[in-house]
């Protein structure tokens, strides 16, 4: 696991570095681009992309997409198609790695147009769209998913917009009670004031130097668009794929997090610029100082949340370690083909931070620790119960696949009391089955 965490950290740094490169190419001052990149590394509500092995490809896909975008922008500046051909290859690899980047690739041409104009960008944009169509078709043909209708997709879109708004609020105020409405109002007021100055006091902007109010407004609105594109691919997916702050489910925010950070930091820049214009003297220095101060405070709050998450995940890991240790202590040997059911233990440390809730984890632990792939292991989770059949014991519950084990090949273990049983008949099973029930859903409701 140490190698995996090192790889996850490396991927996060590489993705942030590419993000920094894209921002610098677009003209964002280096100090602001650096803070934005740092915020992307420590954003605390896509942590499953760092901790969960099967979610690593999200960060890898984002890195490939951002690297391609950097190449494309450099190619527009320098001329020559070789740069964009390299970008197209990286875009293709990105979508094939994890299709969440497909909407960004398809819409990248809009950024090209803002950067270099329509005439120089249109042919490159067509290449990107072709890449997105081909890669999307391949992914769609090779991905199994539950079919849904237009009504279900619209309802899921509403859920994504609602949950995404909550997450945007959390991205701007990471600690304390969730103040989504307050943060959204602050962002809206910042955009309204900034647009008002641009429309009704353009003379002030002509006197400003470097990265000005218009640039911050563009960055803020671009961040909102990027967040939306980062969630777009999940609209036709299962309802489970909805923005959330919790545990393993927050991998949905892997790409959207970059947009949320841009939107929040861009708002800081808008207010910094407005304050700088009020001061007039050393306006640029004041604007930079205000923006950086707010960004550094936000960085500190993100670290505070991360420390809490680290403690929660570590506690879950220790609880899982106890499970396998207790199992081997009470059942030092399991005959080949044994079906093991364990009970009376928490399913999660907190919502979506599993101890036993991810059933494939426990089954895998047992197979590895006993060095026997013929074994089968399942926890009794909330909503599931054991029943005594004529020839086997079944673990069943509404909406889940039934797991069965034949008598004499089943072992029962209560992880709280240490009690164990090996029923050989329905009669034996009925005598003990009531002592093997589900534990609590989670130990702590917060995350």
CA distance 152 to 205: 47
Average pLDDT value for the chain: 92
Q: How far from the centroid of its chain's Cα atoms is residue 313's Cα?
A: 16
Measured distance CA(159)–CA(348) in Å, rounded: 24
Q: How far is CA 160 from CA 29, 156, 200, 229, in A?
A: 32, 6, 36, 12
**CB proximity list for 268: less than 8 A, separation 6 or greater:** 290, 291, 294, 295, 298
Tens of pLDDT, residue by residue over 4-48, are: 999 999 999 999 999 999 999 999 999 999 999 999 999 999 988
Distance CA 318, CA 142 (A): 37
Tell me: pLDDT of 107 over 80: yes
Phi, psi torsion values for 420, nearest 5 degrees: -135, 160
Residue 56 has pLDDT above 90, yes or no: no
Q: Which candidate, 106, 23, 110, 112, places its Cα nearest to that of 75? A: 112
The residue-averaged pLDDT of 388-398 equals 92
Beta strand pairing call for 339-343 and 376-379: parallel
If pLDDT is split at 50, 70 and 90, which confidence band does 204 have?
A: low
Q: How confident is the model at residue 358 (pLDDT cuts 50, 70, 90)?
A: confident
Contact call for residues 56 and 7 (beta carbons, < 8 A): yes
User: How high is the pLDDT of residue 142?
Assistant: 86
The average pLDDT across 271-292 equals 86
Dihedral sign, Cα of residue 165, residue 172, residue 58, residue 368:
negative
Query: Strand 410-414's sheet: what is its strand order?
Result: 376-379, 339-343, 410-414, 420-421
Residue 224 phi, psi (nearest 5): -65, -40
Whole-structure pTM value: 0.91
Q: How many helices (H) and strands (E) does the chain have?
A: 15, 9
Across the range 175-183, mean pLDDT stands at 86
Of 194, 165, 193, 191, residue with least CA distance to 179: 165
Q: Are strands 410-414 and 339-343 parallel, antiparallel or unpaired?
A: parallel
Can you give the pLDDT at residue 205? 59
pLDDT band at residue 172, thresholds of 50, 70 and 90? very high
User: Rounded to whole angstroms, how far apart are CA atoms 49 and 12?
Assistant: 9
145-172 as b/e: b if 16+ CB within 10 A: eeeeeeeeeeebeebbeebbebbbbbbb
């Amino acid at each position: 696991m140490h190698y995996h965490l090192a790889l996850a950290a490396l991927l996060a740094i590489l993705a942030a570095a590419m993000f920094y490169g894209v921002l610098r190419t677009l003209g964002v001052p280096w100090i602001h681009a650096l803070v934005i990149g740092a915020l992307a590394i420590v954003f605390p509500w896509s942590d499953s992309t760092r901790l969960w092995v099967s979610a690593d490809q999200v960060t890898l896909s984002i890195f490939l997409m951002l690297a391609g975008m950097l190449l494309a922008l450099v190619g527009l500046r320098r001329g020559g198609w070789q740069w964009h051909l390299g970008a197209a290859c990286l875009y293709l690899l990105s979508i094939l790695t994890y299709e969440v980047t497909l909407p960004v690739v398809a819409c990248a041409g809009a950024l090209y147009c803002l950067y270099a104009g329509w005439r120089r960008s249109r042919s490159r944009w067509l290449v990107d769209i072709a890449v997105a169509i081909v890669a999307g078709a391949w992914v769609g043909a090779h991905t199994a998913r539950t079919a849904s209708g237009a009504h279900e997709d619209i309802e899921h879109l509403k859920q994504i917009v609602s949950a995404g708004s909550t997450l945007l609020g959390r991205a701007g105020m990471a600690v304390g009670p969730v103040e989504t409405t307050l943060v959204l109002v602050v962002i809206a007021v910042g955009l309204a004031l900034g647009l008002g100055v641009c429309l009704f006091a353009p003379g002030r902007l002509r006197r400003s130097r470097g990265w000005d109010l218009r640039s911050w407004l563009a960055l803020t609105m671009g961040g909102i668009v990027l967040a939306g594109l980062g969630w777009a691919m999940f609209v036709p997916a299962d309802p489970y794929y909805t923005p959330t702050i919790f545990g393993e489910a927050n991998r949905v925010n892997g790409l959207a997090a970059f947009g949320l950070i841009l939107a929040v930091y861009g708002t800081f820049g808008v207010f910094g610029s407005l304050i700088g214009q009020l001061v007039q003297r050393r306006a640029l220095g004041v604007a930079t100082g205000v923006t950086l101060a707010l960004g550094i405070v936000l960085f500190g709050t993100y670290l505070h949340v991360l420390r809490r998450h680290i403690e929660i995940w570590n506690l879950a890991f220790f609880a899982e370690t106890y499970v396998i240790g207790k199992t081997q202590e009470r059942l030092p040997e399991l005959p080949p083909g044994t079906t093991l059911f364990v009970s009376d233990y928490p399913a999660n440390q907190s919502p979506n931070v599993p101890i036993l809730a991810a059933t494939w984890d426990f089954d895998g632990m047992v197979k590895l620790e006993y060095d026997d792939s013929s074994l089968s292991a399942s926890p009794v989770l909330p909503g599931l119960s054991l029943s005594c059949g004529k020839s086997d014991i079944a673990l069943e519950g509404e909406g889940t696949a039934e797991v069965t084990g034949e008598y004499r090949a089943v072992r029962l273990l209560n992880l709280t009391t240490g009690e164990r049983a090996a029923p050989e008949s329905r009669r034996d099973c009925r005598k003990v089955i009531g002592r093997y029930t589900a534990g609590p859903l989670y130990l702590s409701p917060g995350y």
